[in-house]
Amino acid sequence: MAQKWFETVAIAQRRAEKRLPRSVYGALVAGSEKGLSSKDNLASFDELGFAPHVAGLSNDRNLATTVMGQSLSMPVIISPTGVQAVHPDGEVAMARAAAARGVAMGLSSFASRSIEEVCSASEQVFFQLYWSGDRDRLLQRLDRAKAAGAKGIILTLDWSFSNGRDWGSPWIPEKIDAKAVIKLAPEVLARPAWFWSFAKTGHLPNLTTPNMALPGEPAPTFFGAYYEWMHSTLPSWSDVEWLRSQWSGPFMVKGVSRVDDAKRVVDLGATALSVSNHGGNNLDGTPAPLRSLPAVVDAVGDQIEVVLDGGVRRGSDVVKALALGANAVMIGRASLWGLAAAGQAGVENVLDILRGGIDSALMGLGKSDVKELDRTDVLAPADFFRRLG
Catalytically annotated residues: 278
CA atoms within 13 A on the CB side of 11: 10
Nearest distance in Å: CB 140, ligand FMN: 19
Nearest distance in Å: CB 375, ligand FMN: 22
CA 86-92-95 angle, 5° bins: 110
Question: Nearer Cβ to ligand FMN, position 62 or 232?
Answer: 232
Measured CA to CA, the distance from residue 37 to residue 291 in angstroms comes to 12
By CB under 6 A, tell whether 61 contacts ligand FMN: no
Q: Which one among 12, 225, 312, 319 touches ligand FMN, defined by CB under 6 A? A: 312
Binding mask 228-267 for ligand FMN (x = CB under 6 A): --------------------------x-------------
- Amino acid (1-letter code) at residue 215: P
Largest CA distance in the chain: 66
Please report which residue ranges of the chain form alpha helices under DSSP H. Answer: 9-19, 22-29, 36-47, 90-100, 115-121, 135-148, 178-189, 192-199, 222-230, 237-245, 259-267, 289-300, 315-323, 333-364
Binding mask 186-225 for ligand FMN (x = CB under 6 A): ----------------------------------------
By CB under 6 A, tell whether 80 contacts ligand FMN: yes
Count residues contacting ligand FMN (CB under 6 A)?
A: 25
How many CB atoms lie under 10 A from the CB of residue 1?
A: 14
| Residue 201 near residue 88 (C-beta atoms within 8 A) | yes
Long-range contacts of 230-239 (CB under 8 A, 24+ apart): 230/161, 232/131, 232/132, 232/133, 232/134, 233/134, 234/131, 235/131, 235/157, 237/264, 237/268, 239/131, 239/135
By CB under 6 A, tell whether 81 contacts ligand FMN: yes
By CB under 6 A, tell whether 331 contacts ligand FMN: yes
Pick the piece of the chain touching ligand FMN (CB under 6 A) from 53-61, 230-238, 272-280, 365-373: 272-280
Residues 334-363 interacting with ligand FMN (rule: CB under 6 A): 334
Q: Which one among 13, 32, 37, 41 touches ligand FMN, defined by CB under 6 A? A: 41
Nearest distance in Å: CB 308, ligand FMN: 9
Pick the piece of the chain touching ligand FMN (CB under 6 A) from 245-253, 316-324, 329-337, 340-348: 329-337
Q: Which one among 108, 114, 286, 327 touches ligand FMN, defined by CB under 6 A? A: 108
By CB under 6 A, tell whether 281 contacts ligand FMN: yes
Distances (CA, A) of 82 to 16, 113, 275, 317: 17, 10, 19, 23
By CB under 6 A, tell whether 30 contacts ligand FMN: yes
The DSSP string of 238-290 is HHHHHHHHT--S-EEEEEE--HHHHHHHHHTT-SEEEEE-GGGTSSTTPPPHH
Measured CA to CA, the distance from residue 112 to residue 210 in angstroms comes to 6
Question: Nearer Cβ to ligand FMN, position 121 or 330?
Answer: 330
By CB under 6 A, tell whether 333 contacts ligand FMN: yes
Nearest distance in Å: CB 329, ligand FMN: 8
Q: Which one among 75, 82, 220, 325 touches ligand FMN, defined by CB under 6 A? A: 82
Question: Nearer Cβ to ligand FMN, position 129 or 188?
Answer: 129
Burial of 245 (0-12, 13-18, 19+ CB in 10 A): exposed
C-alpha 218: how far from its chain's center?
Answer: 26
By CB under 6 A, tell whether 310 contacts ligand FMN: yes
Q: Which one among 110, 194, 226, 251 touches ligand FMN, defined by CB under 6 A? A: 110
Distances (CA, A) of 89 to 20, 51, 83, 203: 15, 42, 12, 11
Residues lying near ligand FMN in the complex (CB under 6 A) are found at 28, 30, 41, 79-83, 108, 110, 128, 156, 254, 276, 278-279, 281, 309-312, 331-334
